Chain A
Amino acid sequence: MTPERFAQLAEAYGGHLHRWPSAEQAQAQALLDAGDAGVLEVLHQARWLDGQLDGYQLAPVDPALARQIRQSFPQRQSFWARYAGWLSPAGFVGVGIAGIAAGILVASLSVPLPMLGPEVLPSVFDQGDAEVVFTVNAEESEQ
C-alpha cells in the first residue's frame, strides 16, 4: 500500500483500522509498523476527528417510547379466539334451533295427528287393510 492510498483511506474511514475495508487492513497495518512519520501524522489527524464524532452523544432511549413500541405489536389471535366473539352466541342459537327441531320430530312421531284419522290416512299396521288384501287375493285365486 502506498502512503497516498493510506491517506485516502484515513480521510474516508477515520483513524481506526478496524473501520477500514477488511481487504486493506493488513497492508495498512504493515505500513504503520514500518514507522513512516507521514503515515502516523495522517492517522493522528484522522483520530482527532474521530474523537469529535464520538463526542456526539445521544440521550438514552426513553422507556416510555420503548413501552409504546412494545404495545404497538398487533396481538394476533388464534382462529377460535378470533371468532369467539360471535361464535359463542351463534353456537347458543344453533343449539337452540337444533333442540326445537329435534323436539318437533319426536313429537310428530309419537303423537297421533288429530286431523288425520285412520279413514283418511290408513296405516300399514291397520289390521282391516290386511284382511282386505288377503280377501282380494283369496277371491282372485279362486277365479
Chain B
Amino acid sequence: MKDTDPDVELLARIGNNEPAAINEMVTRKLPRLLALASRILGDADEARDVAQESFLRIWRQAASWRSGEARFDTWLHRVVLNLCHDHLRRRKERPLHDEEAMNEVVDNAPAPDEQLEAAARSEHMAQALASLPDRQREAIVLQYYQELSNIDAAALMNISVEALESLLSRARRNLRSYLDDTPGPARPGRGKP
C-alpha cells in the first residue's frame, strides 16, 4: 500500500480534461472491471451497466482524487463490487428465469471445433462459478481472476485474511464437486483429484 499508485498521474490528467488520458483510463480499466462484474454477476448486460456506472464515478472522482488514502484500483474494485451487490440484491427480489441469467457472458460467435470446445468448457466453468454462494464466488473472483493480494481481497470483503482463506477453500471444493458431478465437455487426460 505504501508504493506509488500507478493511476494517480492518469487521474490528474483526467482532472485536466486531457482526451488522451480519458482514452487511456478506458483502455486500462474497462477490461478489468468488466471482467470482475461479468464473473460476479454472470450476466453481460448487467455487467455493462455496472461498467458504465463505474466510469461515471471515475469521471466524477478524478479531479479531486487524493493519493495516499487508498489505491485507485482498490477503490475501483470496491465501487464495482458495491454496484454488483446492488444488482444481486435486486435479482433476489425479482428472481430471474434460468434462461435470463448467464446472458451471453461467453463469446458465442460461430467457431471451429476447438473453439467450440473451448466455449463449451468456458460455459461449464461459468455455470460452476455461478453455482457458488455469493461470498465464495466473490472471494475466488477477487483472488484468482483479479489477482488481488490476499490482504486487498480480504479488505474489500471486510473480512480477515483467515476468513478469506476459508472462503477460498470452500469455493474451490465446491467448484471441484460441481465440475465432477455435472457433465461437461470431454477432456482427454482430465486429472481428476
User: Which of B23, B35, B122: most chain A CB closer than 10 A?
Assistant: B122
When A8-B169, A55-B118, A57-B122 are in contact, do A48 and B192 touch as well, CB less than 8 Å? yes
**A45 vs B180: C-alpha distance in the bound complex, in angstroms?**
13
Q: Which residue of B lies closest to A11 (CB)?
A: B169
List residues of chain B with CB within 8 A of the CB of A66: 26-27, 30
Q: Which residue of B lies closest to A64 (CB)?
A: B48
A17 smallest CB distance to B (angstroms): 13
Per-residue B-contact encoding for A47-71, CB less than 8 Å = 1, 0 else:
0111011011111111001101110
List residues of chain B with CB within 8 A of the CB of A12: 164-166, 168-169, 172
User: Which of A21, A50, A65: most chain B CB closer than 10 A?
Assistant: A65
When A57-B107, A69-B52, A76-B17 are in contact, do A13 and B143 touch as well, CB less than 8 Å? yes
Instruction: Assess whether B38 is in contact with A58, with CB atoms less than 8 Å apart.
Output: yes
Instruction: Assess whether B176 is in contact with A61, with CB atoms less than 8 Å apart.
Output: no
Q: Which residue of A lies closest to B44 (CB)?
A: A59
Size class of the A contact interface (CB-based, 8 Å): 35 or more
**Which of B22, B38, B193 touches A48 (beta carbons < 8 Å)?**
B193
List residues of chain B with CB within 8 A of the CB of A52: 121, 125, 128, 175, 179
Q: Which residue of A lies closest to B178 (CB)?
A: A52
CB-contacts of B23-60 with A (<8 A): 23, 26-27, 30-31, 34-35, 38-39, 44, 48, 51-52, 55-56, 59
When A56-B125, A76-B17 are in contact, do A49 and B168 touch as well, CB less than 8 Å? no
Q: Which residue of A lies closest to B120 (CB)?
A: A55
A16 smallest CB distance to B (angstroms): 10
Please name 6 pairs of A and B residues whose Cβ atoms are closer than 8 Å in the assembled complex, sorted by A.
Answer: A13-B168, A52-B125, A53-B125, A58-B106, A70-B26, A72-B56
A interface list, Cβ under 8 A from B: 8-9, 11-14, 19, 21-22, 44-46, 48-50, 52-53, 55-62, 65-66, 68-70, 72-76
Known contacts A61-B34, A73-B59, A75-B17, then 16 further A-B pairs from the complex at CB < 8 Å, ordered by chain A residue: A12-B165, A12-B169, A21-B149, A22-B149, A48-B193, A49-B176, A52-B128, A53-B175, A56-B39, A61-B31, A66-B27, A68-B52, A69-B26, A69-B52, A72-B59, A76-B17
